[in-house]
Structure 1
């Protein structure tokens, strides 16, 4: 290590000896001008020559050293005496009869292969550099500079890399942060003299940025392995206090000793914070082991936060796991305040909940399941923020309410009912669920009353026994082959998930009656499998099991095939039985019906309320759809279901063991309704069933059916076709199925709105997608009307009007394209009003575009707007969220910023 000022270091003496021995006539002694103080070994070997170093503070000491020299040994005399003080007699024994000077910079040139000269900037860096280059020179020597001049950067980069044990190419903030994860590599820097440590830190700051002082100070203080956790906290303490300045100030004071007393500036703290976060993301991307290591650092940061008393600030972090929980709790507080005590949720309160949700979504350690539940909670609040419509006048109206509104409510409230593990969040969800249940119960009571009073003549109402005649047969009559999928127990809520799953890949297009909203089917009564499924497959009210179903189906469709679960099973390696595949491919089999029991089975022994029903959870559907290329697919169920309410359930007495219906031996209670008529297939045509979802009679299970709630009695009806709309009379491409409150809301126009560029809400970085993502070219007919209401035009959002009036737009407008200016305006205004983002469903709904055509329409819009290929429109990695780069749009079309 470097010696005290004026004292020759062992390395400097060795290098001087090496140069001396390389002379033609080196002699046997040299004198070096330095303090007569020696901290190294008195005897060492250079080129097999024994060298003895002797401090000589007086001429007498020099004479004694020469007198006592052993043959074959060479002497190095260290003295601060002048040549005149030594005298000619002593000088005669010295090589070249002189006292040689130790010039550290001459040694540096020698260490770097004898370069011609040193860069003056290197010399001005200070003596510490020369000493350090001598002290820390590697055995193989320093790397030669690219030229004949030893530059400051080459020397200091080489020294720093050697001292830290890093490649010279890794001397940046990311390399230094990674370096701190290995304690053993930090030891040399921790033990380095202060002058060296300060000099190296200054050099690194110049080339690696403001994060360096904090990193190196923490290492010197013995807390190097905590650099990443402390960096993660730095963003909370120095740059974003969240209004808790006092707590942050105390935290800074308590954290500074771990930085060796260094008081970081805000820019230094922010740079350290960014470097630490970047390390976390990079490490997670390396795989499972990297994720575990990153989580260890995150947990360590939370431990340090607790030690310095700043746990309450963690909510401001977008990366610490506890920050997600704090944000989720803040969101739950907003939910609790927004839940109406009867009546309608206030728009301002709902808006605050949506803002709180945005902070939850922004957290990088978000837990997907809990986030999805939070999103469902917001949707339910938006629903509660709508005025409840008047009670339906007919059973058909009530059925459509379940298909088009309440089924979506049921889907969301199942998630909220499943809840959250945190008690504070769970309490808010329970309060919300109670408010939703209150309105849904009113709807169920209205539905049950209409069901009890229904006339036998259905009119426009589609009943389960009518599906074969009124849905399937007309398709067959047009020469189309059909695959009828009976998903036993599928509710409307489950069907919304199934439909999204089927159409997500783009291979299947959903059809609805005349291209309007979805419709549904009324189940037979009671809503149990032996009644409703048998009635479906018989084409009339009937009861029975699989044998009865098969017999009735074959009578109705002699050339058809009915497949139950056992028939679908195949041997090893086969997803479907060969006979099933043959039937699907056989043009002489017009109708193949397959009963899939996955959902109904879950009611007995699974969790139907928390399962997301789709092609990945109902694998038989995925396998069947993959095997069908030219059949229209009709998806129905025989009945829906309700889930068990746990301790909130009401168990009523019954003479039967059935869960959700009983004989009418006793009058109906407040939670029940009496059903009588030809569509009641059991108990002599007269039964009592509960309309309240939490009521049951029999043993506890995961879910139930048989009752008169809309979730049980309304059967979803989905129709899909491969490719474009087929020639099926009365059926066309479906619009977006979700109700308005399900999709993201539009902000209210404000007189204080900022300009479009300034108003843009901060979002997570956009992941740009290749052009081919939307290359499923399908243009929208020019005659299709924009049926959905476009967002109200904020005067500050008149950017769209300026675009449509611009010369550049007129030049790029292709009159052959079917994308009208009206539709361009509707799409862009939806994006601008949504903070430059919107989901595909929202764009389709608000621009009046059939759901399956939105990707093709967006392709046309992208080609229209993306001048020279610049990404004016991009899509998130989720494949559903579209982003508008407003700045690029303004630049490309030479618009004035609004």
Structure 2
């Protein structure tokens, strides 16, 4: 005889809700089941059949007991507004209950308990998934766990999946029980193990329910679920993901049996067999990889995701230490200890000064999955390897003042930028890595000091006779308006001239990197004789102080003075060119309450005036300590600079970013005292005879505060100062102080002046800076920073058919005369498919231009900026492509036959990407 079912209050309520509809006044319910509590089982109130009922439940084991309970129930007085019901459970067979008692009972007999029927009733369904009928654990769990609002309605049939998902939501806190669906995957399950209540709730379930839910989750989520839930049942749910990370590390390492034993000890009984380890590790690895990707995003949520990832992986490292697995797992691609081990290997490689070894070590660092989460440490590692490359290159020489400032802006200032990053040290405060960086910085500063000394020697000779009439090939700061601003003002254009006081080459290249290249196109003057155009670098006035250099810049002549002199000189310069102008200083361009920019400035920008704005943030930071506390300058770090750039874009104005002088950063140890010398006039220049680290300067461009020529002594060594310590200084004769960056930008290709051309992004940084895959650039892509050949009519060099592309230094007109031969680009443009496609594209570029672009993209690994693509076409044809993005769009239409993406703009328009396989399939495949 099968044992009677055990019932509780909820089952009794469900039975009453059904039976009272046909009770016909009867108030006794006999239940053929055993109550979960013996004896008197309590009372409760139930609303059913439109009325309130006071229900008393009693469990009896004899017919006499049933009769006695019924008589006592009848003897009790009725409460107004309530009907009293007696429910009797127990082990008394139906044939032992008298007919008189049974006549008083609903249905006239004991009512059997069919859990399946009750579950249907609870879900408001007419039928039940047949698979559920035999799953007692599921039916019991549903009856025991009904949420306060009831189970969610499921339609006419309660499916097994619907019931289990609802049960998981209600019992384990996974999802919302009222939701129609519950998306379950490994990510959600592992996240659940890290909650406070979830694993504890699972551990508290009866064994049958744990087993049933484990089986269902193994089907729904995958084979990782049993191990994960076993850890939760053992009270170790919080360690599920850290253990998964360790399992991944062990399975990918040459760890041997010792590591396997250590890992097994950590899992304990939760790991039933080794076969369950790989799927568990794979699922954990996938979850952590997704979390890491989320943490690499931007914003507050990414910071929370970063903390979550690092908490898990730090715990994994601690578990590895407990199990003596740290050694076998050193260098793992995900564990924090693996990242630190790779940094140590990099530190060792830096001391060798061998670029290949340093590159390989850096590649290992950047391949670690936490590289971007430890962004500051990884950036420092990149900077270190870049400096190794710079040191390994030819020893640079200063041959003239003009060459010195150009090279400083193009290359040496980038070394200063890398040193600034490296000076901050490793963000993880690793001493071994810090000492390696310190030694590298020392070697770089030694080379930079030699360059500053050479430059100072040439500056002293040059300054004796240098003037606007005899610049000796240098761009003078007093000629910047004439040489750079006036061309931007041609054809009634209205430039905005932004003077960033104190902006060094190091800061300038960082700000330029932050420009939105979809909005701004950087332009430079063309050069003659096939030279490579580059950024303009001017020579500051001497000494390199604001009163002299800024006044000379804004007046277009060597002079000195304050704001009034600058405004008068600025207006006079443009008046000579029949243009009105307005110059705004600090306090004149900031907007009041409710305004980002001053209305007067906006009125000037709307009109036809040439507008100048002086921004003091960088120079002010030298005294405030800002420069010494951070290594990175972004556009938003310069007050109002983003707003001014946006206004220039909105009003269609070209922009000239220029400085009046640069500065040196104080990198001396605390306690370093100023030089005790006579005649100190400022931090970096004085009167008197020069000593070590100093140079004597005199000439037409060496001015006193009143604007008259004078003679002085200036410091060229960057660790020499004459006044109290600040974050940085200017006034001296070093490259960083004398070099004046000049950066020209246009928001539209229509505003590019005559004899100017665009500067591709790939040409803004020196080759040693963008020298390897770990820097985010392929070696092929770096080659685009080298000079491109000028067009020529020399005889072509023809590559063998079917062979790879051979770089051609010269492009002749005859390169298309041999069908099927030449570079990949040349063979593409000879095909019938290309010629047919070209008929349907308006303003299609020449075959030579298209071939050059295809070959340049293939050389660069398939990706270049729009500017570099346009430059490749210009180098091949001599024709300037004034709008790189539009040119790339035309190429898309030309090469993308039938919509196949052979070429396209990616990275929000920042990059042109060529699919080599599709290119060959569409144009070069044998179609016979």
The answer to whether the Cα contact below 8 Å between 1:491 and 1:714 also exists between their aligned partners in 2 is: yes
Which residue of the partner structure matches residue 616 of structure 1?
A: 636
Aligned pair in 2 of structure 1 residues 700, 159: CA closer, same or farther (>3 Å)?
A: closer
Which residue of the partner structure matches residue 231 of structure 1?
A: 241
Matching of residue 217 in structure 1 with residue 255 in structure 2 = no
Matching of residue 516 in structure 1 with residue 559 in structure 2 = no
Aligned pair in 2 of structure 1 residues 332, 453: CA closer, same or farther (>3 Å)?
A: farther
1:680 counterpart SS class: strand
Which residue of the partner structure matches residue 277 of structure 2?
A: 265
Aligned pair in 2 of structure 1 residues 77, 663: CA closer, same or farther (>3 Å)?
A: closer
Which residue of the partner structure matches residue 857 of structure 1?
A: 887
Aligned pair in 2 of structure 1 residues 853, 820: CA closer, same or farther (>3 Å)?
A: same
Which residue of the partner structure matches residue 667 of structure 2?
A: 645
What are the equivalent positions in structure 2 for 1:805-816 lying under 5 Å apart?
Answer: 811-813=836-838, 816=842
Which residue of the partner structure matches residue 435 of structure 1?
A: 443
Which residue of the partner structure matches residue 408 of structure 1?
A: 414
Aligned counterpart in structure 2 of residue 530 of structure 1, from 547, 569, 576: 547
1:654 offset after TM fit, Å? 1.9
The answer to whether the Cα contact below 8 Å between 1:472 and 1:482 also exists between their aligned partners in 2 is: yes
The answer to whether the Cα contact below 8 Å between 1:527 and 1:707 also exists between their aligned partners in 2 is: yes
2:519 counterpart SS class: coil
The answer to whether the Cα contact below 8 Å between 1:691 and 1:707 also exists between their aligned partners in 2 is: yes
Deviations, residues 636-693 of structure 1 (Å, cap 9, x unaligned):
3332211112218684432122355555633543x23333433333597443333322
2:260 counterpart SS class: helix
Deviations, residues 87-107 of structure 1 (Å, cap 9, x unaligned):
xx9899878999997665566
Relative to the length of structure 2, the TM-score reads 0.74
Matching of residue 444 in structure 1 with residue 448 in structure 2 = no
Aligned counterpart in structure 1 of residue 734 of structure 2, from 709, 718, 736: 709
The answer to whether the Cα contact below 8 Å between 2:342 and 2:365 also exists between their aligned partners in 1 is: no
2:209 counterpart SS class: helix
1:741 counterpart SS class: coil
1:491 offset after TM fit, Å? 2.0
CA distance in 2, matches of 1:620, 1:65: 89
The answer to whether the Cα contact below 8 Å between 2:401 and 2:459 also exists between their aligned partners in 1 is: yes
Which residue of the partner structure matches residue 256 of structure 1?
A: 267
Which residue of the partner structure matches residue 207 of structure 2?
A: 194
Structure 2 unmatched runs, 5+: 47-52, 75-85, 780-789, 807-822
The answer to whether the Cα contact below 8 Å between 1:354 and 1:378 also exists between their aligned partners in 2 is: yes
Matching of residue 376 in structure 1 with residue 383 in structure 2 = yes
CA distance in 2, matches of 1:15, 1:475: 85
Aligned pair in 2 of structure 1 residues 491, 93: CA closer, same or farther (>3 Å)?
A: closer
2:359 counterpart SS class: helix
Aligned pair in 2 of structure 1 residues 351, 487: CA closer, same or farther (>3 Å)?
A: same
1:617 offset after TM fit, Å? 3.1
CA distance in 2, matches of 1:52, 1:334: 78
1:18 offset after TM fit, Å? 8.1
CA distance in 2, matches of 1:29, 1:532: 103
CA distance in 2, matches of 1:270, 1:786: 60
What are the equivalent positions in structure 2 for 1:375-774 lying under 5 Å apart?
Answer: 375-389=382-396, 391-421=397-427, 422-424=429-431, 425-454=433-462, 456=466, 457-468=470-481, 470-471=483-484, 483-501=496-514, 504=517, 506-507=519-520, 509-514=522-527, 516-549=533-566, 561=581, 563=583, 565-566=585-586, 568-569=588-589, 572-573=592-593, 574-575=595-596, 577=598, 580-581=601-602, 587=608, 592-608=611-627, 610=630, 612-613=632-633, 615-626=635-646, 629=651, 633-647=655-669, 651-659=674-682, 661-662=684-685, 665-669=688-692, 671-682=693-704, 685-724=710-749, 726=751, 728-736=753-761, 737-741=763-767, 744-745=770-771
Deviations, residues 423-467 of structure 1 (Å, cap 9, x unaligned):
444333323322322332232222222222325433432223444
Matching of residue 365 in structure 1 with residue 373 in structure 2 = yes
1:234 offset after TM fit, Å? 0.8
> Comparing 429-438 with 272-281, which one deviates more in the overlay?
272-281
1:646 counterpart SS class: coil
CA distance in 1, matches of 2:147, 2:461: 96
CA distance in 2, matches of 1:212, 1:842: 51
CA distance in 1, matches of 2:744, 2:362: 34
Which residue of the partner structure matches residue 274 of structure 1?
A: 286
Deviations, residues 7-59 of structure 1 (Å, cap 9, x unaligned):
53024788778888868899989795x8x99744545679767564333xxxx
Which residue of the partner structure matches residue 767 of structure 1?
A: none
> Comparing 400-409 with 91-100, which one deviates more in the overlay?
91-100
1:203 offset after TM fit, Å? 1.5
Aligned counterpart in structure 2 of residue 128 of structure 1, from 125, 131, 137: 137
Which residue of the partner structure matches residue 77 of structure 2?
A: none
CA distance in 2, matches of 1:98, 1:663: 115
1:446 counterpart SS class: helix
1:170 counterpart SS class: coil
CA distance in 1, matches of 2:488, 2:223: 70
Aligned pair in 2 of structure 1 residues 382, 94: CA closer, same or farther (>3 Å)?
A: same
Aligned pair in 2 of structure 1 residues 715, 90: CA closer, same or farther (>3 Å)?
A: closer
1:678 counterpart SS class: strand
Aligned pair in 2 of structure 1 residues 825, 314: CA closer, same or farther (>3 Å)?
A: farther
1:352 offset after TM fit, Å? 1.1
Relative to the length of structure 1, the TM-score reads 0.76
Q: How many residues align?
A: 830
1:127 offset after TM fit, Å? 3.7
The answer to whether the Cα contact below 8 Å between 2:679 and 2:687 also exists between their aligned partners in 1 is: no
CA distance in 2, matches of 1:152, 1:727: 69
1:192 counterpart SS class: coil
CA distance in 1, matches of 2:896, 2:343: 38
Which residue of the partner structure matches residue 302 of structure 1?
A: 314
1:563 offset after TM fit, Å? 3.2
The answer to whether the Cα contact below 8 Å between 2:63 and 2:92 also exists between their aligned partners in 1 is: no
Aligned pair in 2 of structure 1 residues 730, 293: CA closer, same or farther (>3 Å)?
A: closer
Which residue of the partner structure matches residue 9 of structure 1?
A: 6
1:350 offset after TM fit, Å? 3.9
What are the equivalent positions in structure 2 for 1:112-191 lying under 5 Å apart?
Answer: 115=126, 119-124=129-134, 126-136=135-145, 146-147=155-156, 151-164=159-172, 166-167=176-177, 169-170=181-182, 172-173=184-185, 176-177=189-190, 179-180=192-193, 182-184=195-197, 189-191=202-204
What are the equivalent positions in structure 2 for 1:59-78 lying under 5 Å apart?
Answer: 70=71, 78=90
Deviations, residues 266-303 of structure 1 (Å, cap 9, x unaligned):
11332245346657877999985895587367426524
Deviations, residues 355-400 of structure 1 (Å, cap 9, x unaligned):
1353268645344x554444433433333343335x3543333332
1:858 counterpart SS class: helix
1:195 offset after TM fit, Å? 1.1
> Comparing 190-199 with 639-648, which one deviates more in the overlay?
639-648
1:576 offset after TM fit, Å? 5.0
1:121 offset after TM fit, Å? 3.2
1:696 counterpart SS class: coil
Let me know the Cα RMSD of the aligned residues: 5.1
CA distance in 2, matches of 1:577, 1:140: 59
CA distance in 1, matches of 2:869, 2:544: 38
Aligned pair in 2 of structure 1 residues 152, 290: CA closer, same or farther (>3 Å)?
A: same
The answer to whether the Cα contact below 8 Å between 2:685 and 2:715 also exists between their aligned partners in 1 is: no
CA distance in 2, matches of 1:662, 1:136: 83
CA distance in 2, matches of 1:63, 1:884: 92
The answer to whether the Cα contact below 8 Å between 1:506 and 1:852 also exists between their aligned partners in 2 is: no
CA distance in 2, matches of 1:597, 1:663: 24
CA distance in 1, matches of 2:435, 2:132: 67
